[in-house]
Structure 1
Amino acid sequence: MITLDKDLMSIQETRNLIAKAKDAQEIYKTFTQEKVDKIVEEVAKAAEKEAVKLAKMAWEETGFGRWEDKVVKNTFASKVVYENIKDMKTVGIIREDEEKKFFEVAVPVGVVAGLIPSTNPTSTTIYKTLIALKSGNGIVVSPHPNAKNCIIETAKVLTEAAVKAGAPEGLIGCITIPSLESTNLLMKHKDTALILATGGEAMVKAAYSSGTPAIGVGPGNGPAFIDKSAKVELAVKRILDSKTFDNGVICASEQSVVVEKSMKELVIKELKKQGAYFLNEEESKKLGNFILRANGTMNPQIVGKSVEALASMANLNVPAGARVLISEQTTVGKNNPYSREKLTPILAFYTVDNLEEGINLCTEILMNEGKGHTLVLHSENKEVIKEFGLRIPVSRLLVNTPGALGGIGGSTNLVPALTLGCGAVGGSSTSDNVGPINLLNIKRVAYGVRELEDLRGTKQEEPVNTINEEYLELIISKVVEKLSALNK
């Protein structure tokens, strides 16, 4: 008996899943809007029903975050995402403009490769599957190895609901033997139409270099600027709510706080009052050694851990009940771990002299890491908000809201999504919160409304037919003669 190596089994499984998804999608793309909508509805309901079980599985398997918050994310990915997309036209003619003489037709891309991270494994699987199905596509899910069991179970729940509602077998596929080789194959396969990549920076870069069209997202590293006009107590509450939600694993969560000197003491006092613990210089150094690995990437051991776990890891004596660890910083750079993305309850704290310095520092933090992603602004001054909106290099400027929940469209009216585009500045193909429309090709049917002469500006007016006066008089005289003869 021949025993296949794990990587070979993984590759063969992936080939089979792609083939099945392609065949199923060929059938699915002929479905009416009503049939598609019914399948999407049933899949969303099934995911919402299993939100608690899947959340607990994700927490137990990865050790990241809090299972209670993962329930919220699973419900968001199913119910909230569904409510946003349920009435969206995604099949056939989706827009007509009689006046401008054109109409638009939705064309599914085909088979989508859904790369799933370990930080938000079950919720991202639900979300990507729903938007793929809504747009008439098939999907093959590639799980992060550290979260494969909860992702496989999520895909099973979604698949069973889809097939029961009338979807073709194989429309939703999930790799059960994940490997680097299988992910690479999925991304580069000729029958993979589009990659939807959420995860580490290296994986997203691999997606873009695969030769297959890809929608990927870069790291978040959003600063939170508290303006002098802000309601400080509420601003601090929102920042801490965000940074402690699922222990900070959502990429839109705040990574630093920036304030002007004139309000520094007020903000620090409020942060401490609401449970933040400010590290001294020695403690900052100890914890900083755990944030980054030798290769300059974030240490996965700190991701989604509680303050208590972080303190134990770094041998710190932190007061009981502390919600977030904060380190005062003055520099920004690749070697300063506090100025980087930290998917855990750790914040940097910066002080500037004035608003202009604040804008410049926030920009510097983002250009160091997090270009094009998210910035959070707490302000009651519309001119300040406009200034930030015009100048900060982000795709999402969130005003007076928790970053984690605002960025994904939970506490804002942005498109509910767990894949957040960073635009060209962040190396992404879109700046959108990704939804079904991003997974469609739009065919445009346009009638001609101008001729070449119109474009050149040389079109002549049609000549007006004129009759010679003498000829007209002759005709009249002949008619008169005829009438006279008839009268006689």
Structure 2
Amino acid sequence: MTQLVSDEELTPALEIKALVERSRAAQAQIENYTQEQVDALIRAMVWAVAKPGVAEKIAQFTVDETQLGNYDGKFLKISRKTRATLMDIIDDKSVGILEEDKERNIIKIAKPVGVIGALAPSTNPEATPVIKAIHAVKGRNSIIVAPHPRAKLTNKMICDLMREAIVAMGAPADLVIGIDTPSLEKTNELMKQCDRILATGGGAMVTAAYSSGTPALGVGVGNAVITVDETADLDDAAEKIRISKTLDLAASCSSDNSVVLVDKIYDQMVSKLEGKGGYVVNAAEKDKLQHTIWHDGHLNTAIVAQPATKIAEMAGIDLPEGKTFFIVPETGYGPDHPFSGEKLSVVMALYRVKDIDEAILKTNQIQSYQGQGHSCGIYSNSDENILKLANATKTSRVMVNQPQAASNSGNLWNGMRQTFSLGCGSWGGNGTNNNISWRDLINETWVSKPLAVTKVIPSDEDLFGKDIIEKFAKAG
């Protein structure tokens, strides 16, 4: 006689095994979908969560559950970011032949990976599951989303809405599955049992993803450093820094963590930042703020994505009315200067440098501590300075005259791929520099046909050059 096992009695391994089996069965049903069927699915998935009335409900629910960020930021992400991501990929060809390289006589064919295991952070739990899900389904994959426990109800709401939309389109609901009662053990099991991991979250979780034995796409630590040079439009720069620093109360890892001002415009720019709601702390307030933001060397989660007024109250700082972010003068970097690191709060470090060369040096010093490979930015009207910074920094993205947090993952005013997963290359311990999209979630078969004319290896003189040949001939 077969003994029935309740959900409560399932081990994490068995529970995830059952979810993966369901997910794999659903994926098999769309493996041969046409491009039109795939695109109809992802349109329906986004509409289900972003349509008027629903987006507002999700935004408020997310704030209520997580107590992170604010309604305006959450609404922008679920309503606008999801639409922008859909727009970004909807016309991409992701089924069948992707490319034909006539010169090399190679055809590239898209194939699904299978089951994507996705990690969703508590700081962006509203749009992350949607964006990861449509990238997965665009590649004819299924997806299982492991949320942060702090956002499990938000994740369930969003996944359920997408599942209903998928069923309405005649496809299996299990193309999208959320883990309703998340735990570290279940997340680790998902990473072991899925076909590819898409990890967005804390450093420990990304490290675990890379250690799982499953091919993983992870992201590095964010700690964006923004330079303002003497050629910049200072009013524009101040407003965009404000936007980036306060968007969703700095829940994004792309929020401006340090701003570097060249000497010529330092005083003027500080005044403009103050006019935009920045509050420059004095030495005593800096000490109070430091002891509030970090406890025993670790970021105090109670300050993450909270209003400036709440942080000021916790720190015992008398914050003037109308001030929405803190500006902390700093000179050093590294563990002894924690303000040089990622803060996930409406707090930014401020540095004064002589010129663009010192700004580049300071950027590299700060990001050698945290954030190397992620992103930096510059407000400048000098192409020479922009390219000098881009060439000399160890970064995957340089955002020019744009609010960092709203831009480096793609926005309507730039050509960056829309995503919430930012690869940081070898600098950040990642396998890719990409703004990760559906193209990273497929396999590609290369079909190679013989060339019309076989290639011929040129003469040694043409291939190596006369100088090289003579140099080594003399060396004997």
TM-score of the superposition, structure 2-length normalised?
A: 0.92
> Which position in structure 1 is the counterpart of 2:215?
213
Give CA deviations for 1:309-336 in whole Å, capped at 9, x if unaligned.
Answer: 1001111111011011111011101232
Would the aligned equivalents of 2:417 and 2:435 in 1 still touch at CA under 8 Å? yes
Residue 365 of structure 1, CA deviation: 0.8
> Which position in structure 1 is the counterpart of 2:280?
278
Give CA deviations for 1:258-302 in whole Å, capped at 9, x if unaligned.
Answer: 1122222111111112211111111101111122232x3322111
Distance in 1 (CA, whole Å) between partners of 2:380 and 2:458 is 52
Distance in 1 (CA, whole Å) between partners of 2:138 and 2:420 is 16
> Which position in structure 2 is the counterpart of 1:35?
37
1:395 match: secondary structure: coil
> Which position in structure 1 is the counterpart of 2:145?
141
Distance in 2 (CA, whole Å) between partners of 1:345 and 1:6 is 41
Is 1:78 matched up with 2:82?
yes
Residue 81 of structure 1, CA deviation: 0.5
Distance in 1 (CA, whole Å) between partners of 2:28 and 2:434 is 28
Alignment of 1:165-314 (within 5 A): 165-189=169-193, 192-294=194-296, 296-314=297-315
Q: Return the letter of the residue paired with 2:371.
A: G
1:325 match: secondary structure: strand
Distance in 1 (CA, whole Å) between partners of 2:223 and 2:28 is 40
> CA separation of 1:356/1:166 partners in 2, compared to 1, >3 Å: closer, same or farther?
same
Give CA deviations for 1:186-206 in whole Å, capped at 9, x if unaligned.
Answer: 0011xx110000010110000
2:298 match: secondary structure: coil
Task: Point out the more displaced range, 5-14 or 312-321.
Answer: 5-14
Is 1:331 matched up with 2:332?
yes
> Which position in structure 2 is the counterpart of 1:378?
379
2:410 match: secondary structure: coil
> Which position in structure 1 is the counterpart of 2:366?
365
Alignment of 1:123-142 (within 5 A): 123-142=127-146
Q: Return the letter of the residue paired with 1:103.
A: I
> Which position in structure 2 is the counterpart of 1:479?
none
> Which position in structure 2 is the counterpart of 1:65?
69
Q: 1:97 aligns with which of 96, 101, 111?
A: 101
Distance in 2 (CA, whole Å) between partners of 1:333 and 1:179 is 32
Distance in 2 (CA, whole Å) between partners of 1:4 and 1:96 is 52
1:178 match: secondary structure: coil
Would the aligned equivalents of 1:291 and 1:337 in 2 still touch at CA under 8 Å? no
Would the aligned equivalents of 2:375 and 2:397 in 1 still touch at CA under 8 Å? yes
Distance in 2 (CA, whole Å) between partners of 1:380 and 1:451 is 49
Residue 450 of structure 1, CA deviation: 7.3
Distance in 1 (CA, whole Å) between partners of 2:167 and 2:335 is 48
> CA separation of 1:36/1:264 partners in 2, compared to 1, >3 Å: closer, same or farther?
same
Q: 5+ unaligned residues in a row in structure 1: which ranges?
A: 458-488
Alignment of 1:393-408 (within 5 A): 393-408=394-409
Would the aligned equivalents of 1:6 and 1:177 in 2 still touch at CA under 8 Å? no
Q: Return the letter of the residue paired with 1:141.
A: V
Task: Point out the more displaced range, 62-71 or 404-413.
Answer: 404-413
Distance in 1 (CA, whole Å) between partners of 2:168 and 2:215 is 31
Residue 13 of structure 1, CA deviation: 3.0
Q: Return the letter of the residue paired with 1:424.
A: S
Distance in 1 (CA, whole Å) between partners of 2:425 and 2:6 is 42
Task: Point out the more displaced range, 243-252 or 445-454.
Answer: 445-454
Q: 1:26 aligns with which of 25, 28, 36?
A: 28
Choose 1 or 2 for highest CA Rg.
1
Would the aligned equivalents of 2:229 and 2:355 in 1 still touch at CA under 8 Å? no
Would the aligned equivalents of 1:416 and 1:433 in 2 still touch at CA under 8 Å? yes
Q: 5+ unaligned residues in a row in structure 2: which ranges?
A: 460-476
Distance in 1 (CA, whole Å) between partners of 2:156 and 2:271 is 46
Distance in 2 (CA, whole Å) between partners of 1:350 and 1:454 is 57
Would the aligned equivalents of 1:13 and 1:175 in 2 still touch at CA under 8 Å? no
> Which position in structure 2 is the counterpart of 1:465?
none
Give CA deviations for 1:239-264 in whole Å, capped at 9, x if unaligned.
Answer: 01111110011111110111122222
Distance in 2 (CA, whole Å) between partners of 1:175 and 1:408 is 26
Give CA deviations for 1:449-487 in whole Å, capped at 9, x if unaligned.
Answer: 278894598xxxxxxxxxxxxxxxxxxxxxxxxxxxxxx
Task: Point out the more displaced range, 71-80 or 205-214.
Answer: 71-80
> CA separation of 1:104/1:317 partners in 2, compared to 1, >3 Å: closer, same or farther?
same
Give CA deviations for 1:51-97 in whole Å, capped at 9, x if unaligned.
Answer: 21111111111111111211111123421111111111111112223
Distance in 2 (CA, whole Å) between partners of 1:100 and 1:5 is 54
Q: Percent of pairs identical after alignment? A: 35
> CA separation of 1:381/1:452 partners in 2, compared to 1, >3 Å: closer, same or farther?
closer
Would the aligned equivalents of 2:107 and 2:446 in 1 still touch at CA under 8 Å? yes
Distance in 2 (CA, whole Å) between partners of 1:377 and 1:315 is 34
Would the aligned equivalents of 1:9 and 1:177 in 2 still touch at CA under 8 Å? no
Would the aligned equivalents of 1:39 and 1:166 in 2 still touch at CA under 8 Å? no
Q: Return the letter of the residue paired with 1:387.
A: K
Residue 436 of structure 1, CA deviation: 0.7
> CA separation of 1:389/1:64 partners in 2, compared to 1, >3 Å: closer, same or farther?
same
> CA separation of 1:92/1:451 partners in 2, compared to 1, >3 Å: closer, same or farther?
same
Is 1:88 matched up with 2:92?
yes
Would the aligned equivalents of 1:10 and 1:177 in 2 still touch at CA under 8 Å? no
Q: Return the letter of the residue paired with 1:155.
A: C
1:224 match: secondary structure: strand
Q: CA RMSD in A?
A: 2.0
Q: Return the letter of the residue paired with 1:260.
A: V
Q: 2:112 aligns with which of 91, 105, 108?
A: 108
Q: 2:60 aligns with which of 48, 56, 59?
A: 56
2:348 match: secondary structure: strand
Distance in 2 (CA, whole Å) between partners of 1:159 and 1:5 is 21
Q: Return the letter of the residue paired with 1:401.
A: Q
> Which position in structure 1 is the counterpart of 2:429?
427
Distance in 2 (CA, whole Å) between partners of 1:253 and 1:361 is 18
Distance in 2 (CA, whole Å) between partners of 1:199 and 1:182 is 15
Distance in 2 (CA, whole Å) between partners of 1:7 and 1:100 is 57
Give CA deviations for 1:212-241 in whole Å, capped at 9, x if unaligned.
Answer: 110111111111100010011110110011
Would the aligned equivalents of 1:10 and 1:175 in 2 still touch at CA under 8 Å? no
Task: Point out the more displaced range, 329-338 or 318-327.
Answer: 329-338
Is 1:392 matched up with 2:393?
yes
